[in-house]
Amino acid sequence: MANTIGWGSGAANNSIGWGQGKTNNAIGWGNVYSSSPSGETDLVGVIPPISLTSPVISGSGVVGQTLSTTDGTWSGTLPITYTYQWNRNGSEILGATFNTYTLVTADASTSIDCTVTATNAGGSLSKNSNAISVAAAGDADANAFITAAAITDTTQKAAIDTLVTDLKNYGIWTKMKAIYPFIGGTAAQHKFNLKNPLDTNAAFRLVFNGGWTHSSTGAKPNGTNAWANSFFNPSLHNVANSSHMSYYSRTLFADTITNACEMGCFTASGAQRNLIFASGNGTSYCVPNNNNEFIVSFASNGVGFYVASRTSATAIMGQRNSTQYTNTATTARINNIISLGAGSGPAAGLYSSYSPRESAFASIGDGLSATEAANYYTAVQNFQVSLSRQV
């Protein structure tokens, strides 16, 4: 048997120690041989790892944040390699074997540390790091939504929490009036507005009409008769010259004849108004006004995150996946309630540009600058990636 450190004795090696045997002792008080008289071969002068200072974890103990650990300092014969195992309340976290670890909801209100194991030719030795206490789970706004929408999946909870945290860190959260993250997989969950998760029209919850398919990847209108009422009227709920709309489309629109409207609105006359829509000419547009004057023309009908924003009478722009498109117009605010999935919130049978494009996110709110819109894309795309439904 071999003893890397210790006082053991036996028929085999003792790397460090006071043991005696018929073979080798690398350091110690025993006899040192390059090989035993019987012909056994052993390492000579190999010093196994010895911990000089413990590993140290850095990072914030908040769900969604990433912790990292140092190796600590070690002596011993080179080369020394290191492996890592992160622990939650002293128990190993399955698969957490890198020198970084991103905290998930399950880590909330627990203690996290990391065991670093140093290995060389002479053996291995493990040392535990300091422990980090993780704060109770979640942002209060995220928790309110999670509770209202009955989100129970750990990954989904963490995704919402990180999304809210990111939006707040970017200074965007306060500019949002309605956010539809379409998380959970059912109409009962997809209807909630993250900004105000109450099951009332006044809170801008969505009311679905017609044929929607709700799944873990989002809410998909059927392109035949599906639309959703947001109850949000920019003319009443936004200040003049400050508005934005966004829509995360997971469905490529390739129709060359008709148009598909992802966001639209009522008009006083009952006519449709397409606000963000894919057209049969292969281009997507945003028309955030009620005068049929397009203000932003996107280059394609591709999948991705469309944002259209207005921050002044003439500062009007759009972004698709953070690529900037700019146009100008001087038009009135939308004076109609915004719908999703169709060109209007139609009375029964009223013609509209129903869309077949699945949405994994949508929002309505105050105007966003180009930088804010780009940051918004980063936050929303991170959200989609964390749910494995990004395009």
Partner 1 sequence: MKIAQLTQEEKAIYVGLLTVEQKDLLVGQLFDEDSYFNPIQDDNNNWIISIEEIEQNQNPEFGWLQDLEMILFVPKVNPMPF
Taking the least distance from each CB to partner 1, the nearer of 292 and 371 is 292
Binding of partner 1 at residue 180 (CB under 8 A)? no
User: What is the smallest separation between the CB atom of 92 and partner 1, expressed in angstroms?
Assistant: 42
Q: Which stretch binds partner 1 (CB under 8 A): 46-54, 80-88, 92-100, 185-193?
A: 185-193
User: Which amino acid is it at 226?
Assistant: A
The answer to whether 205 and 195 have CB atoms below 8 angstroms apart is no
> Is 354 a binder of partner 1 (CB under 8 A)?
yes
Q: What is the largest CA-CA distance in the chain?
A: 104
Phi, psi of 233 (to 5 degrees): -110, 110
Footprint of partner 1 on residues 230-269 (CB under 8 A)? 257-261
Helices 140-148 and 154-169 sit at what angle, rounded to 10 degrees? Answer: 140
Rule CB under 8 A: say whether 218 interacts with partner 1: no
Among 227, 253, 306, 325, binds partner 1 (CB under 8 A): 227
Angstrom distance (rounded) from CA 160 to CA 164: 6
234 prior amide bond cis, ω within 30: no
| Phi, psi values for residue 117, rounded to 5° | -110, 125
Among 191, 250, 320, 389, binds partner 1 (CB under 8 A): 191
Residue choice 27, 187, 315, 370 for contact with partner 1 (CB under 8 A): 187
Contacting range for partner 1; rule: CB under 8 A; set: 5-13, 101-109, 280-288, 359-367: 280-288
Shorter beta-carbon distance to partner 1: residue 132 or 149: 149
Based on the shown chain and the rule CB under 8 A, indicate whether residue 209 belongs to the binding site for partner 1: yes
289 with 329: CB under 8 angstroms? yes
CB of 222 vs partner 1, minimal distance in Å: 5
| DSSP H/E element including 73 | strand 73-75
Instruction: For the CB of residue 179, give the shortest distance to partner 1 in the complex, in Å.
Output: 18
Q: Which of positions 288-347 make contact with partner 1 (CB under 8 A)?
A: 292-294, 343, 346
H-type alpha helices, 233-321: 234-237
Choice between 74 and 182, CB closer to partner 1: 182
How does 320-352 read in b/e, with b if 16+ C-beta sit within 10 Å?
bbbeebebebebebbbbbbbbbbbbbbeeeeeb
Quick one: which of 13, 24, 352, 384 contacts partner 1 (CB under 8 A)?
352
Task: Indicate the length of the chain as a whole number.
Answer: 391
Q: Evaluate the CA torsion angle 294, 316, 378, 191 in order and state its sign.
A: negative
Closest approach of partner 1 to the CB of residue 362, in Å? 17
**Nearest to 341, CA basis, from 221, 211, 190:** 221
84 lines the binding site for partner 1 (CB under 8 A)? no
Closer to partner 1 by Cβ: residue 273 or 357? 273
User: For partner 1, which is the closer residue by CB, 123 or 221?
Assistant: 221
- Interface residues with partner 1 (CB under 8 A) are 187-188, 191, 207-213, 222, 224-227, 257-261, 272-274, 277, 279-281, 287, 292-294, 343, 346, 348-354
